Structure 1
Amino acid sequence: MNSKPLLDMNYTELTQWWDAYREEQASWGAFLKEPYPELLTTWYAERLIDGSIPASKENISAAKRHINDLKRQGTDEFPWVFDEERAHRPIRFIEKKCKPSKGDFDQLVLQPWQHFVIGSLFGWVHKDTGVRRFREGLVFVSRKNGKTTLISGVSNYMLGFDEENGARVYVLANAEQQAHELFDEAKAMVEKSPYLSKKYKPQRSVIRFDEAYSKIEARASDSKRLDGLNTHLGIFDEIHEFKDFKLINVIKKSRGARKQPLIIYITTAGYVLDGPLMDFYEIGKSVVNGIEVDDRTFYYLAKLDDLEEMDKPEFWIKANPNICLMDFVNLVNDWKKDKKSPQERADWVTKQFNIFSDVDEMSFVDVATINKNNKVLDIETLKGRECIGGYDLSETEDFTSACLEFPLETGEIFILSHSWIPLARFDRDGHQERL
């Protein structure tokens, strides 16, 4: 392969590199062109751990969590076991019974990372009762990584193939229109499938499975009908848009009558740093790293580890596990152009690289420029020099900041800055490690 940095390649060089890369990944199973007959949940975890497949630090920790749990499964301290048949069943269902609603594909092919997510959610069960281990799961991936396939496929599986009479499946979003768009995708998947279209009854606002008195419906934070729910599966899309727990709490509290209900949150990063997603994300990092214990929630946190990886497309798979199915060459060329615009780059950082941002527009100074100016001076050498000062005062919640700029004889400008927060805010939020 060409050893030149990917961002320095021309279109032809990058196309050749990409074609070779995809074939190499396919040669050993990291990229699947057709359904794989065996379950890849544990195989994928092992590949993340040995570094064969680049992954975020959090997902490497999630993989280690899976392997460690396999070693202690079925014990008095850890009564859960990994049932490969239960894990593989929804994967086979999606690939054999569901049909893609868009594109030129005749069959859905779940990639290894999707084997890991679905296999984990459905495969871990109690050794005595067979009840599913995971009651909730956070799937945190960048846009255009097959979230709709997961939402539609899992919803249709839980409707009629999870051995639950009267199942109520809800596709959920922040706004009514978005929730109905998700529902329409699930309905289109049924209508495209000769098998499911005979078994299920897709209607305007509901998909029915009359044999078991089950149905799929859409709900949203702004829905007028949020009472009387009886959730078997609640699957949320893009909870980065949620500013409160209203709908989430409604769904959680509606699970009481179910034997093994499941709530899945599938989302990219966002700009709301005080909403539910940030709480889930911070807890998830602590759980996969062994700082907190929560054996009933699954986490898959796909993201770049740092901003320097933005200019290294070979690491984009960390945030985009479906990278081999993307238009990678144009993606790279778009990044080279868009990163020059603060607003465009902010969108990339949040939506393509899956890194949280607290503003809609990031600084126009990129990482490379910051690193070039990473020079440190002894503060004693600045005493007595002329400088320009500025400050920004806060009232109750915001930072109070002060900055001094020292022009040097070399033409350089040295910046000395400091910020403060109210003690009350630190006492309230400091434990969340966001400051």
Structure 2
Amino acid sequence: MATYPNVNAANKYARDVVAGKIPNCRQVILACQRHLDELAKEKDPNFKFRFDKAKAERVCSFIQRMPHTKGEWARKKQKIKLEPWQLFFFAASFGWLVKATSKRRFREVMLKVPRKNGKSIIAAGVGIFGLCADEEYGSEVYCGATNEKQAWEVFKPALLMARKLPKMRKKFGLQLHAKKLTRSDGSVFEPVIGQPGDGSSPHIAIVDEFHEQPTNEQYDTFDTGMGSRDQPMILTITTAGTNLDSPCYDLELRCRAMLDGTEDEHLFALLYGIDDDDDWTKPEALIKANPNYGISVKSDYLLAQQQKAINSPRFTNIFKTKHLNQWASAKSAFFNMEKWKECEDKDLTIDFFRGVDCIQALDLARKLDMNAKARVFWKEIGGKIHWYCVAPKFWVPYEQVFNNENKQLGEQFQRYLTQGLLSVTDGAEIDYRDILADVVESHLETPSVSIPIDPAGATNLSHNLLDEGLNVVTVTQNHQNMSDPMFELEAAINSGRFHHDGNALMTWQISNVIGKYYQGSDDRVRPTKQKNINKIDGAVALIMAIGEAMLQKNQGQTKAKSIYEGGTVGC
């Protein structure tokens, strides 16, 4: 009977992380939880993926046949011994297959880990595996970087490994060259500076220190060249950086959205670091952020670096970026996404609320961008107001989905469209007639007490809604109007008084909200976003809806009072 000691250790690591036995940041916990949840769904015929223990064991065993290439372990001629976190990384990345094809599931893999945690060894091992043992005839493996020195950080260890393993060279027909490795079937492993040639067809592309790349050109060229491969993979291995406009930061935001619940089935991410509320001056932060703490990265070195950062403010950001994996100047999400997930109730549907009064709020950003509607219901339970957000709606022009200059955003829109969460209007501009028809239809289902709308939005749409007999109110999205409902939404989420239907597009936008405080004050805030790609339109509409409901209650309007005291919501 086959045994899988490496896979068993990998799965144990995931269980221990989720159970809190191994300190880790929220993103790593979510990655482990995703793996365990999907293992539990394997036998479901509607679940498209399966975990192949033999495939996972094979890659872990292969990597551990590689020799160390520098330092004390190389001097002692020791072979690589993967730590539990590394076993989990390899097992999860390579072990998940598509049931229908038995080909590898994950096309994009991101490992974000601080310096000195063994990145180069992992990348070199993946490169040799992809060249020799990944069942790909004529394999092409590239390690990409912005300069030759960086590219050689991955390729040099791989070259040294191959030199030290004559039996492996003989078995796979591996030939050593000054700047590449080749096999007789045409397979090649070599470093790439900038873009690979148009004729390249990567099987494995390794992007090292992606945070140093100013554009997405290399990543996109690797990606578009993989069309003829059965199970290609782009492996990004990086630390955090300082450029929040970089493609690396965009990729991390996409990974975070996936871990928070946005469907991205062929993306795997393991993002080590610390949480926003961790005290970075404590030794515990070092252990949490550095999975190889005390192994490849020495504890006394990290403690000395930490003390230096405490004593020297000039060095603080460097330390946080390189050793705690925090992006310099990155702002924290306003809402607690772990609590938001706890507020999810997939049994909530609009059918449950038919005939119940609501607020419909519209955030009409621009004709060329996303527009959103949030429908909010509420009820007083035990002296506390409970909020319900059900069936939000999002619109975007056709051109923004299929011809977007920002490829990543266009692909994001396409995923939500496929999931049925995004409505597309014809042409390059939003057709407000579609929004008008939707709001009127929703009003017939769930009567709208009022429809708050930003005056910077569509004036004609406001007039058309008024012509339909609807109560339109203008709400300027400033600190005065947005602060109280934003804090109320935060409190409701944290206390469990908020309930939503799990809409993944709304979840993504809630995760993108950053709090912009008024002149340094901590009691007046409005929602903003880190970058244009991080849409928050649905979150803004939700905050506007809650603000309008709060205002009507405070003003004692009869209609609003009847909702609070006599609503039929039974949750």
TM-score interval (norm. to shorter): 0.7 to 0.9
Tell me the equivalent position of 1:52.
Answer: 21
Q: CA deviation at 1:46?
A: 0.1
> Do 2:7 and 2:56's aligned partners in 1 also have CA atoms closer than 8 Å?
no
Verify: 1:264 aligned to 2:221, yes or no. no
Tell me the equivalent position of 1:240.
Answer: 211
Q: Which moved more, 1:306-315 or 1:118-127?
A: 306-315
CA distance in 1, matches of 2:12, 2:155: 32
Pick one of 181, 184, 191 that aligns with 1:218. Answer: 191
> Do 1:219 and 1:226's aligned partners in 2 also have CA atoms closer than 8 Å?
no
Q: CA deviation at 1:401?
A: 9.8
CA distance in 2, matches of 1:120, 1:336: 36
> Do 1:319 and 1:352's aligned partners in 2 also have CA atoms closer than 8 Å?
yes
Q: CA deviation at 1:107?
A: 1.2
Tell me the equivalent position of 2:138.
Answer: 166
Verify: 1:191 aligned to 2:163, yes or no. yes
Letter in 2 for 1:70: L
Pick one of 96, 102, 117 that aligns with 1:124. Answer: 96
Tell me the equivalent position of 1:179.
Answer: 151
Alignment of 1:246-395 (within 5 A): 246-290=217-261, 292-306=262-276, 308-325=278-295, 326-358=297-329
> Do 1:40 and 1:115's aligned partners in 2 also have CA atoms closer than 8 Å?
yes
Pick one of 46, 54, 75 that aligns with 2:44. Answer: 75
Q: CA deviation at 1:416?
A: 8.6
The superposition leaves residues 68-112 of structure 1 with CA deviations (integer Å, 9 ceiling, x where unpaired) of 10111143331211111100111111112x111112221111011
Q: CA deviation at 1:41?
A: 2.1
Q: CA deviation at 1:271?
A: 0.5
Note closer, same or farther for the CA distance 1:129–1:303 as it changes in structure 2 (3 Å cut): same
CA distance in 2, matches of 1:136, 1:424: 25
The superposition leaves residues 182-240 of structure 1 with CA deviations (integer Å, 9 ceiling, x where unpaired) of 22221112112233344421211110122x3211011122x5x5321101000111111
Note closer, same or farther for the CA distance 1:427–1:237 as it changes in structure 2 (3 Å cut): closer
Tell me the equivalent position of 1:102.
Answer: 70
Note closer, same or farther for the CA distance 1:245–1:47 as it changes in structure 2 (3 Å cut): same
Same amino acid, percent of matched pairs: 31
The superposition leaves residues 375-431 of structure 1 with CA deviations (integer Å, 9 ceiling, x where unpaired) of xxxxxxxxxxxxxxxxxxxxxxxxx99859xxxxxxxxxx7998999x999877553
Q: Which moved more, 1:139-148 or 1:299-308?
A: 299-308
Tell me the equivalent position of 2:121.
Answer: 149
Q: CA deviation at 1:337?
A: 2.6
> Do 1:56 and 1:318's aligned partners in 2 also have CA atoms closer than 8 Å?
yes
Note closer, same or farther for the CA distance 1:177–1:329 as it changes in structure 2 (3 Å cut): closer
Letter in 1 for 2:190: E
CA distance in 2, matches of 1:343, 1:401: 25
Q: CA deviation at 1:278?
A: 1.4
> Do 1:239 and 1:277's aligned partners in 2 also have CA atoms closer than 8 Å?
yes
CA distance in 2, matches of 1:203, 1:86: 30
Verify: 1:202 aligned to 2:307, yes or no. no
What stretches of structure 1 of length at least 5 have no aligned partner? 1-34, 360-399, 405-414
CA distance in 2, matches of 1:427, 1:108: 43
Letter in 1 for 2:250: D
CA distance in 2, matches of 1:177, 1:403: 45
> Do 1:309 and 1:315's aligned partners in 2 also have CA atoms closer than 8 Å?
yes
CA distance in 1, matches of 2:517, 2:51: 52
Note closer, same or farther for the CA distance 1:78–1:402 as it changes in structure 2 (3 Å cut): closer
What stretches of structure 2 of length at least 5 have no aligned partner? 331-515, 541-571
> Do 1:159 and 1:168's aligned partners in 2 also have CA atoms closer than 8 Å?
yes
Letter in 1 for 2:187: S
> Do 1:269 and 1:354's aligned partners in 2 also have CA atoms closer than 8 Å?
yes
> Do 1:95 and 1:107's aligned partners in 2 also have CA atoms closer than 8 Å?
yes
3-state DSSP class of the match of 2:71?
coil
Letter in 1 for 2:147: A
Note closer, same or farther for the CA distance 1:114–1:418 as it changes in structure 2 (3 Å cut): same
CA distance in 1, matches of 2:235, 2:131: 15
Tell me the equivalent position of 1:62.
Answer: 31
CA distance in 1, matches of 2:14, 2:312: 37
Note closer, same or farther for the CA distance 1:425–1:72 as it changes in structure 2 (3 Å cut): closer
3-state DSSP class of the match of 1:69?
helix
Letter in 2 for 1:321: P
> Do 1:309 and 1:316's aligned partners in 2 also have CA atoms closer than 8 Å?
no
Which structure ranks higher in relative contact order (CA pairs < 8 Å, sequence separation ≥ 6)? 1
Tell me the equivalent position of 1:21.
Answer: none
Q: CA deviation at 1:358?
A: 3.0
3-state DSSP class of the match of 1:298?
strand
Note closer, same or farther for the CA distance 1:288–1:308 as it changes in structure 2 (3 Å cut): closer
> Do 2:9 and 2:87's aligned partners in 1 also have CA atoms closer than 8 Å?
yes
Verify: 1:228 aligned to 2:333, yes or no. no
Note closer, same or farther for the CA distance 1:279–1:77 as it changes in structure 2 (3 Å cut): farther
State which structure, 1 or 2, has the greater radius of gyration over its C-alpha atoms.
2
Tell me the equivalent position of 1:18.
Answer: none
> Do 2:285 and 2:324's aligned partners in 1 also have CA atoms closer than 8 Å?
no
Q: CA deviation at 1:242?
A: 1.6
CA distance in 1, matches of 2:124, 2:208: 11
Tell me the equivalent position of 1:431.
Answer: 536
What's the TM-score, normalizing by structure 2?
A: 0.56
Note closer, same or farther for the CA distance 1:128–1:425 as it changes in structure 2 (3 Å cut): closer
CA distance in 2, matches of 1:424, 1:81: 37
CA distance in 1, matches of 2:32, 2:537: 24
What's the TM-score, normalizing by structure 1?
A: 0.73
CA distance in 2, matches of 1:298, 1:402: 38
> Do 1:39 and 1:115's aligned partners in 2 also have CA atoms closer than 8 Å?
no
CA distance in 2, matches of 1:126, 1:182: 29
The superposition leaves residues 165-194 of structure 1 with CA deviations (integer Å, 9 ceiling, x where unpaired) of 100000111223311342222111211223
> Do 1:244 and 1:275's aligned partners in 2 also have CA atoms closer than 8 Å?
yes
3-state DSSP class of the match of 1:68?
helix
Q: CA deviation at 1:243?
A: 1.8
Letter in 1 for 2:189: I
3-state DSSP class of the match of 1:309?
coil
Letter in 2 for 1:99: P
Q: Which moved more, 1:192-201 or 1:300-309?
A: 192-201
3-state DSSP class of the match of 1:40?
helix
3-state DSSP class of the match of 2:21?
coil
